[in-house]
Every structure is written in structure tokens, then in C-alpha cells.
């Protein structure tokens, strides 16, 4: 089983609370979401693996078992055109869990009129394949959010 860690510090709220129907309806995949602390922070890799997709507002890391984990920094933040996001790795890089991937400021996103809520999604997974999904309570970057079989 792969343990998927929180890429951010904040409060777990679950996907159903995400203000976007694509995420709240788990159309992208099952998982959870983090309401991040409102201070500059680094979003870290939730698993050991390879960065297969990298955008200022989102990234996907695929582990050695082929599990792809999407971390989406805020909702509709693609509309910020990368402003306020700093990429710390490159697409194709091998990363370790806990390694910084993107530096950003959730408060700046909120001030720009975007939700800072961050879905953490198991791509191409079923809800049955996840275990122990954390949907409430405070989390630190590196805390386990769910297990993936």
C-alpha cells in the first residue's frame, strides 16, 4: 500500500467540500482536500516518484507502483497565469516524499479572488482502493492523508 502524504499544512476538509463540482464529485478521482494555512509555504511531493505533470498551480507525481497523485493548489488558480507560484523542480524530475515542488502563498490566491482549497487526488483510482482517508482535522505537510492499494 502506498501512503499518500499531505503536501501542505492546513486543515483536511474532504473532497465533498471543494468549491468545484469536478473535484467535489470525485470526477478526477477519489482523495481529500486541504484548506491551507494562509501563509507562504512550499507544496511538497506526497509520494516518492517522478513529476509527470507540472504547472504553477498543480502537479502530478507517479510512484513506482504507477499511482499518480494530483496536488491542485487552489481552485481556478490556472487563471492567475502562474503569478505567485514558484516552481522548485522540473517535469521529469525524480522527487522524494516531502521534497518541495512549488512555493506559493494561499493568502495571495484568496486575495486574488480564488479559493485556496487544495484537492489531493488519486488519479485513475476507485474509492474502494483508498483506505483511511483523512477528511477533517489539522494536518502538517508530511502527515498521511490516505493509503492506496
Task: Report pLDDT for 125.
Answer: 96
- Please report whether residue 41 resides in a domain: yes
Distance CA 143, CA 6 (A): 5
The per-residue pLDDT for range 80-134, each reduced to its tens digit, is 999 999 999 999 999 999 999 999 999 999 999 999 999 999 999 999 999 999 9
Range of the domain at 103: 2-132
* Residues 47-93 pLDDT 10s: 999 999 999 999 999 999 999 999 999 999 999 999 999 999 999 99
- The DSSP secondary-structure symbol of 79 reads G
Q: Specify if 100 maps to a domain.
A: yes
Q: Is residue 142 in some structural domain?
A: no
In a domain, 72, yes or no: yes
Q: Considering Cα of 29, then 8, then 58, then 144, what sign does the dihedral take? A: negative
Residue 90: the pLDDT is 98
How many domains are contained in the chain?
1
Does residue 6 sit within a domain? yes
147 domain-assigned = no
Please count the other Cβ atoms lying within 10 Å of the Cβ belonging to residue 140.
11
Annotation marks residue 57 as catalytic: no
CATH of the domain at 95: 2.70.70.10
Question: Of residues 55, 57, 67, 72, which has the active-site annotation?
Answer: 72
Amino acid at each position: 500500500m502506498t501512503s499518500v502524504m499531505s503536501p501542505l499544512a492546513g486543515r483536511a476538509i474532504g473532497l465533498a467540500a471543494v468549491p468545484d463540482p469536478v473535484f467535489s464529485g470525485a470526477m478526477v478521482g477519489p482523495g481529500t482536500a486541504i484548506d491551507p494555512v494562509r501563509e507562504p509555504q512550499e507544496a511538497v511531493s506526497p509520494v516518492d516518484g517522478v513529476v509527470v505533470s507540472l504547472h504553477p498551480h498543480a502537479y502530478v507525481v507517479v510512484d513506482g507502483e504507477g499511482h499518480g497523485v494530483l496536488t491542485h493548489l487552489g481552485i481556478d488558480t490556472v487563471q492567475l497565469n502562474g503569478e505567485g507560484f514558484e516552481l522548485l523542480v522540473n517535469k521529469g524530475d525524480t522527487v522524494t516524499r516531502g521534497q518541495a515542488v512549488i512555493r506559493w502563498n494561499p493568502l495571495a490566491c484568496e486575495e486574488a479572488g480564488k479559493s485556496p482549497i487544495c484537492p489531493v487526488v488519486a488519479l485513475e483510482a476507485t474509492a474502494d482502493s483508498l483506505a483511511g482517508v483523512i477528511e477533517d482535522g489539522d494536518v502538517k505537510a508530511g502527515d498521511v492523508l490516505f493509503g492506496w492499494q
